[in-house]
Every structure is written in structure tokens, then in C-alpha cells.
């Protein structure tokens, strides 16, 4: 993706916790632009949000007891632009049903939230493309929702094998119309951060109306 000279720049460092919601009716007014982060528990989702926003404490908010099942909204200094931390999905192999796995309210958010502009799917580079990840990608295709994959914890592999996972994942996902980008990411080494920010900024720019 390329960035136009007249594009809006987004300051990810400006991200602030705005509110949590347990259901669609508790969410901020549905008139903005949201990029939602989804991923299996322990995939590195909170760390990725913290790294992208350069704020070590930001997504920890969502880990305080009682908040893990909530949808957490972070505002940005760009009006109406938000990042959203979705509850991590579990290890359950049993169900490939959004409602069963994540609960009715999250399903409601994904299906009905007008502001939802893109999805960032977090995958541990050592365990990419779980059944649930694949289901989310199929759902993104059906919903025409731009989707970015972050292959997190890439520091856990040497560069060669990490690149191999990257190419294999790209090959496996050929034909997914919603897939915008796959990014090798490490919160530990802070790699893939600028690329992630640039991709999210492109998405915001495409979603927001031009003056």
C-alpha cells in the first residue's frame, strides 16, 4: 500500500483507554473508524497493541480481572479513529462458531458495528493459522473487511525460518480477498512496528472520507 501526500497521519502514541463494553449498546457511538485486534489468548495481542502505541500499560487495562471478556476501546488523537482490543479467543477446538466461542455480544460487534474498518489478526509465528484464525479470515472475506496478519514473537525464530513461515502463510492464504498484509512482528525486538503503523494508517485513510 502507498501513502498519498495528502493522507492523514495518525499518532499511535496518542492512544488512550476510552471505555470497555460488554455489548454493542455499551460501545462508543457508532460513527467512527475502528481497527480491531483479535487473536488467541497468549498470542501476543496485548504486547502488540502496547508496542504499536508505544505505551507499555495500554492494553494491560484490558487484562485486569473482569475485563478480559470485554471489548476495549482506545481513542486516538485523530477524531473518531479508534483501536479496539477484542477478547482473546480460547484454546477450544470444539467450536468453530463465533457465537459459541466468543459470546453473542462479540459476534454482534463483528457483524453489526458500522465503525469496524479493519481487523488485525494476531498469530504467534510458531502456531499460525489455527482453525479459528482461518474462520476469522473467511468471515473477513465474506464481510469484505480488510485484514492484516501480524506474525508475532518473530524473535523466537531465526530470521530464515521466520521468513519461511511468512512465505508459507502468504502462499496458504492466496485468494483471500480481505487480506491486506502479513507482517513479521516482534514486541521484544520492536520489529515490524513501523510497517504495522503504516498499514493501519493506510487503512484509516481509505476508510475516512476525504475533505
Residues interacting with ligand GDP, by CB under 6 A? 39, 41-47, 88, 152-153, 155-156, 186-188
Looking at the Cβ atoms of 100 and 188, the one nearer to ligand GDP is 188
* Burial of residue 142, with CB atoms counted within 10 A of its CB: 0-12 exposed, 13-18 middle, 19 or more buried: exposed
- Rounded to a whole number of angstroms, the minimum distance from the CB of residue 148 to ligand GDP is 16
Q: Which is nearer to ligand GDP, 131 or 142 (CB)?
A: 131
Residue 32 vs 88, nearer CB to ligand GDP: 88
Q: How far is the CB of 146 from ligand GDP (least distance, A)?
A: 21
Distances (CA, A) of 177 to 15, 66, 116, 138, 203: 29, 36, 17, 9, 15
In the complex with ligand GDP, the residue whose CB is nearer, 156 or 176, is 156
Nearest CB to ligand GDP, comparing residues 133 and 208: 133
CB of 165 or CB of 208, closer to ligand GDP: 165
Output the smallest distance, CB 182 to ligand GDP, in A: 16
Question: In angstroms, what is the minimal distance from the CB of 189 to ligand GDP?
Answer: 7
Residue in 167, 192, 181 with CA at minimum distance from that of residue 48: 192
Task: Please report how close the Cβ of residue 156 comes to ligand GDP at its closest, in angstroms.
Answer: 5
Give the β-pairing of 81-85 and 16-21: unpaired
- Residue 63 CA to residue 120 CA, distance in Å, equals 19
Task: Give least dist CB 18 to ligand GDP, A.
Answer: 18
Amino acid at each position: 500500500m502507498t501513502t498519498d501526500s495528502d493522507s492523514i497521519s495518525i499518532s499511535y502514541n496518542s492512544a488512550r483507554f476510552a471505555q470497555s463494553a460488554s455489548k454493542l449498546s455499551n460501545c462508543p457511538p457508532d460513527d467512527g473508524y475502528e481497527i480491531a485486534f483479535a487473536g488467541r489468548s497468549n498470542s501476543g495481542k496485548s504486547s502488540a497493541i502496547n508496542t504499536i502505541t508505544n505505551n507499555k500499560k495500554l492494553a494491560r487495562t484490558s487484562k485486569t480481572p473482569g475485563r478480559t471478556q470485554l471489548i476495549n476501546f482506545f481513542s486516538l488523537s485523530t477524531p473518531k479513529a479508534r483501536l479496539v482490543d477484542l477478547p482473546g479467543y480460547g484454546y477450544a477446538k470444539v467450536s468453530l462458531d463465533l457465537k459459541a466461542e466468543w459470546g453473542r455480544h462479540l459476534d454482534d460487534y463483528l457483524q453489526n458495528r458500522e465503525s469496524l474498518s479493519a481487523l488485525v489478526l494476531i498469530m504467534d509465528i510458531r502456531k499460525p493459522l489455527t482453525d479459528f484464525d482461518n474462520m476469522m479470515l473467511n468471515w473477513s472475506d465474506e464481510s469484505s473487511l480488510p485484514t492484516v496478519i501480524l506474525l508475532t514473537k518473530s524473535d523466537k525464530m531465526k530470521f530464515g525460518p521466520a521468513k519461511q513461515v511468512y512465505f508459507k502463510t502468504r502462499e496458504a492464504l492466496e485468494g483471500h480477498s480481505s487480506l491486506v498484509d502479513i507482517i513479521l512482528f516482534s514486541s521484544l525486538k520492536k520489529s515490524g512496528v513501523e510497517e504495522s503503523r503504516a498499514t493501519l494508517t493506510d487503512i484509516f485513510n481509505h476508510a475516512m472520507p476525504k475533505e
